[in-house]
Amino acid sequence: MLTTLEDLGQDVRDLATGSTGRLRLGSFPTASVRLVPDTLSAFVHRHPRAEILLDEGEPDDLLPMVVDGTLDLALAYEYALTPRRWPDGLAVHRLLEEDLFLLQQGKATLPELAGARWITSGEGTGGARSLTRLCAAAGFTPAVSFRSNNYDVVRQLVAAALGVALVPALGHVPDDRILATRLDLPSARRHVVALHRDGNSNPLLGDMLAMVRHTAGRLAL
């Protein structure tokens, strides 16, 4: 009985200090590629006995899961031209700011692409609405021919000369078949944040947040 009580006491101490326990992380796809692997690698190295769960989705899918406590921490984004109102009761930590890249076959400025076919993300998404507003500021409405939330698909469509596109830096992969230029406009930005509930007492949360911040700070975008 004494041994059992000692083991139980050690288990409680491990949970309290974050040596063990569980943390559930949510991430959107491009962050899952560029931010999450290095973050989780560092975290698992420091907390080898902790259980880490990953869920992937767009911010609209992840935010309710943070609010109801299903997720401890979520990575999300907002475009400068389509800012979000984050739910009450959430702490918001800015991680990085991304430029937007114009992908095309030729070499035209945004106003010169008024007659082009456009490729963008799903209708109603932050990326699609941001494109509409950027083009409106340039004096035209983009003619969208193809939609995909997968930036690999978008890149392949541009490479096949089927249109032009705007993609955020996390979703951009250099490709010799495509001319990619940063859109040099103050409003052509996407902000990546980490969110958690105020008062979340998970002892693993602080380290996970610190590690994702460190990874974000090392990215060359």
The CATH number given to whatever domain includes residue 106 is 3.40.190.10
**DSSP 8-state secondary structure symbol assigned to residue 82:** B
Tell whether 93 and 103 lie within a shared domain.
no
What's the number of domains the chain is made of? 2
Tell whether 196 and 161 lie within a shared domain.
no
Residue 7 maps to a domain:
no
Please tell me the least confidently modeled range out of 39-43, 122-126, 164-168. Answer: 122-126
Tell whether 125 and 56 lie within a shared domain.
no
Buried b (16+ CB within 10 A) or exposed e, 11-23: eeeebeebbbbeb
Which residue shows structure tokens 């109102």? 85
Rounded to 5 degrees, what angle do the CA atoms 37, 124, 119 make? 75
Which structural domain, as residue segments, surrounds residue 26? 12-97+192-218
Tell whether 130 and 75 lie within a shared domain.
no
Residue 3 maps to a domain:
no
Residue 4 maps to a domain:
no
Tell whether 31 and 111 lie within a shared domain.
no
Round to whole Å and give the CA distance between 32 and 215: 12
Residue 6 maps to a domain:
no
93 by Cβ neighbours in 10 Å (0-12 / 13-18 / 19+) ranks as: middle
Element (H, E) at 120: strand 117-120
pLDDT digits (tens, 9 = 90+) for 141-187: 999 999 999 999 999 999 999 999 999 999 999 999 999 999 999 99
Indicate the pLDDT class of residue 84, thresholds 50, 70 and 90: very high
Residue 61 maps to a domain:
yes
Round to whole Å and give the CA distance between 193 and 92: 7
How much is the pTM? 0.87
Provide the pairing of β-strand 164-168 with 143-147. Answer: unpaired
Provide the pairing of β-strand 117-120 with 143-147. Answer: parallel
